[in-house]
Structure 1
Amino acid sequence: MTGTAVNVAEIRETEGAVSGGGNSGIVDGKGESDLPEGWTRATLGELGIEVQPGFASGKHNRDGNGVLHLRPMNITRRGVIDISDARFIEDESERRVQHGDILFNNTNSPALVGKTAWVNSDEPLAYSNHMTRLRPPAGIDSQFLAIQLHALWSNGYFKAVLNNHVNQASVPRKALLETTIAIPPPPEQRRIVAKLNEQLAHVESGVASLESAVILRRSLRHSLLDRYVLGRGEGPAPESLQSITQHKSAKFNYRLLPPLPRGWHWRIAKDICPLITSGATPEASLMYSGSGEIPFLKVYNINKQGEVDFSIRPTFVDRAVHEGKLKKSRILPGDVLTNIVGPPLGKSAVVPGTHEEWNINQAIVAFRAGGEILPDWLRFVLLSPYVINLLVATARATAGQFNIALSTCRELPIPVPPMPVQERLCGYLRSELSRLDLLNREVDVIASMPDDLRAALLHAAFTGTLVPQDPADEPASALLDRIRAQRSAAASAKSTRRRTPRTSKSAGDPGQGELPL
């Protein structure tokens, strides 16, 4: 996060203030004593915020015909409008949002309802009935208000005031208008927005660097595995294909495999593994959480580092089930596991020796390495993106889920180097992947910082510590008094118009009605 002009130590001090629910860290109540000098509080209703719902349309197109129709997914979790998934509609109404308006997501899942974004579009845009357009009065900076409302969403305020429905939730108009916000003097609002935009740009720059690092670390891992599992960097030997190309497979075209280095050979999994079996899942009543006789592994027990982690929701079955209904999926320490249901595919691990016997569910296949191959080498092969892609190409896809057949696993081509080479490469891969895992943990720690930075910036913005106060600024209470006076005058004028009786106009009075012909 170098280049970010925010003090991380100060952020840590504010974490407690910004992590709570409700209006914590932004609006803590309706009193004025804890506000900076010149600030005040008011509800959206007291401010006379204009509230206008959008409209539904089932006739979307992606061809750009008509006007862009914004939907809840077009507001990101960071409070900006994203039109990468753009839908258009043919519509002649005037219900639009324009530059400077605020879009509030009034209907969504409980976790997402309340997302808010400031509209920065030169073209008027339509918006769905799950969105509400807000327009504040003069003196309330619309971007300042949008950022504060989105910050309230981040802190869980709208989750506390929503109405739950079937499969969704909504924030009623009344609850929205009763939302209390902190109001600085108008010049300070503009200073806060400018400073937030400047600092958040630093944060987003850091986020982009982190995302590049995440892509790079994945690429490094993949290239490392493929390079050494396939012996790349050494001269290919055509004879490495001679044995396997004599076989036929309904799943794989062995003739398309790349040649391996001299002394290496492509082998079929069933020829070098005396056991290849998939698991099964018994009735829920036969499984026990926490403790039992035989540990029962599920896909989530295989971690990204290629290890079995049985500390995650451990499940057990008793020995009678293990040796009865699940006897075909009994496995031993040293067996190599890989998942055959995904995404993601490619989670592989060697069964540890912490228990004498194990069992597995139906989403896992176990390979028992024979005398030609080390279990650790087989694990690295099954982690290789090249081999994973061979499996994916054979997968049946149903509702976005990949399923690999057990028969496919038995026909899987496996690169087999001489045993001394396997031992040397396994040691090298263990060392290099361990270093990458350490790097990954460091990146993960840094990846949590942007959320801390954003939270600290928002807390500072809405508690008066982001920018200095100017004693020359007119206090926000004066602004609020003017808004109230204007609303009262408008209401009185409207009431007077309703009470004034209609009178008939005299045709002879040139000052009223139509002039005589």
Structure 2
Amino acid sequence: MPKGWKWANITEVTSKITDGTHNSPVNLPIGDYKYVTAKNIKTLGVVLDNITYVSKEVHDEIYARCNPEKGDILYIKDGATTGIVTINTLEEPFSLLSSVALIKPIKEISNKFLCYFLQSPLCYASVRDSMKGVGITRITLKQIEKWDVPLPPLAEQHRIVTEIERWFSLINIIENNKEDLQTTIKQTKNKILDFAIHGKLVPQDPTDESAIELLKRINPNFTPCDNGHYP
């Protein structure tokens, strides 16, 4: 471990680890509270495409045990997308299905640092390896509670998060401008070729053998022509 870091059990840096309802409630296109499932959990946040709703009575029962708040970590623990994790970006309360684990970091740890650790190849590969076997499509809360987290000092956590986000921002700029980049590459290649055939790509050396002399060496019967379009 780097100097000043320590391995910590995830239960030491969280106040709650739970999951949503294990009974699929009636959910409709309209209702009182949003009903979030694994399909809504993406790396960049909670996506509300095709969101459904549950009644207040159903929500109150679910929320009494599983109360996601803005800044909490949402972790898919069931199905093909197990291991996808994000920070809750919704201001409002909502109901959660059991396919998603709710992880509440304590104030003494950066929620973004913990989320980035859970997104890291080290953690993701370990989780996916633990699911190998016939019919294993999930991890349990008890498994999550055994996880260890590499914990730097809090100030270093914030510096790490800032640096990660700086690099991710640059990557996103490249990704978002990929088509423009391809156009620029094509135009640049054309310009390079244009410079090349006009003698502007490299400096000319007066000591070089002239093209006429080269043609004479290739064909002693060569006769120069002043026609600019001579083949």
SS at match of 1:275: strand
Q: Structure 2 counterpart of 1:293, which letter?
A: D
The structure that has the greater radius of gyration is: 1
User: In the alignment, is the contact (CA less than 8 A) between 1:392 and 1:402 conserved in 2?
Assistant: no
Task: Tell me what 2:191 maps to.
Answer: none
Alignment partners' CA distance in 1, 2:129 and 2:81: 14
Alignment partners' CA distance in 2, 1:404 and 1:280: 16
SS at match of 2:114: helix
Aligned length: 182
Q: Is residue 322 of structure 1 aligned with residue 63 of structure 2?
A: no
Task: Tell me what 1:411 maps to.
Answer: 146
Shift of 1:348: 1.1
Gaps of 5+ in 2: 183-231
User: In the alignment, is the contact (CA less than 8 A) between 1:282 and 1:325 conserved in 2?
Assistant: no
Deviation per residue, 1:207-255 (Å, 9 max, x gap): xxxxxxxxxxxxxxxxxxxxxxxxxxxxxxxxxxxxxxxxxxxxxxxxx
Task: Tell me what 2:167 maps to.
Answer: 432
TM superposition score normalised by structure 2: 0.70
User: In the alignment, is the contact (CA less than 8 A) between 1:306 and 1:347 conserved in 2?
Assistant: no
Task: Tell me what 1:387 maps to.
Answer: 123
Q: Is residue 265 of structure 1 aligned with residue 6 of structure 2?
A: yes
TM superposition score normalised by structure 1: 0.33
Alignment partners' CA distance in 1, 2:149 and 2:120: 11
Q: Structure 2 counterpart of 1:287, which letter?
A: N
Deviation per residue, 1:268-298 (Å, 9 max, x gap): 11111110011225445x2122x43322211
Alignment partners' CA distance in 1, 2:179 and 2:33: 34
Q: 1:437 to 1:281 in 2, by over 3 A?
A: farther
Alignment partners' CA distance in 2, 1:413 and 1:354: 29
Q: 1:396 to 1:264 in 2, by over 3 A?
A: same
Q: 1:292 to 1:427 in 2, by over 3 A?
A: farther
Q: Structure 2 counterpart of 1:336, which letter?
A: I
Residue in structure 1 matching 2:19, options 260, 278, 288: 278
Alignment partners' CA distance in 1, 2:104 and 2:168: 23
User: In the alignment, is the contact (CA less than 8 A) between 2:82 and 2:138 conserved in 1?
Assistant: no
Task: Tell me what 2:28 maps to.
Answer: 288
Task: Tell me what 2:96 maps to.
Answer: 360
User: In the alignment, is the contact (CA less than 8 A) between 2:20 and 2:62 conserved in 1?
Assistant: no
Q: 1:439 to 1:398 in 2, by over 3 A?
A: farther
User: In the alignment, is the contact (CA less than 8 A) between 1:277 and 1:365 conserved in 2?
Assistant: yes
Q: Structure 1 counterpart of 2:168, which letter?
A: L
Q: Structure 2 counterpart of 1:323, which letter?
A: D
Q: 1:320 to 1:342 in 2, by over 3 A?
A: same
Shift of 1:444: 8.2
Alignment partners' CA distance in 1, 2:180 and 2:74: 29
Residue in structure 1 matching 2:109, options 373, 377, 390: 373
Shift of 1:403: 1.0
Alignment partners' CA distance in 2, 1:329 and 1:383: 22
Alignment partners' CA distance in 2, 1:446 and 1:360: 41
User: In the alignment, is the contact (CA less than 8 A) between 2:44 and 2:86 conserved in 1?
Assistant: yes
Shift of 1:376: 1.0
SS at match of 1:372: coil
User: In the alignment, is the contact (CA less than 8 A) between 2:83 and 2:127 conserved in 1?
Assistant: no
**What is the RMSD computed on CA atoms of the aligned residues?**
2.5
Q: Structure 1 counterpart of 2:61, which letter?
A: G
Shift of 1:387: 0.8
Q: 1:443 to 1:301 in 2, by over 3 A?
A: farther
User: In the alignment, is the contact (CA less than 8 A) between 2:7 and 2:151 conserved in 1?
Assistant: yes
Deviation per residue, 1:41-89 (Å, 9 max, x gap): xxxxxxxxxxxxxxxxxxxxxxxxxxxxxxxxxxxxxxxxxxxxxxxxx
Task: Tell me what 1:138 maps to.
Answer: none
Alignment partners' CA distance in 2, 1:414 and 1:293: 37
Alignment partners' CA distance in 1, 2:180 and 2:82: 25
Shift of 1:442: 4.2
SS at match of 1:332: coil
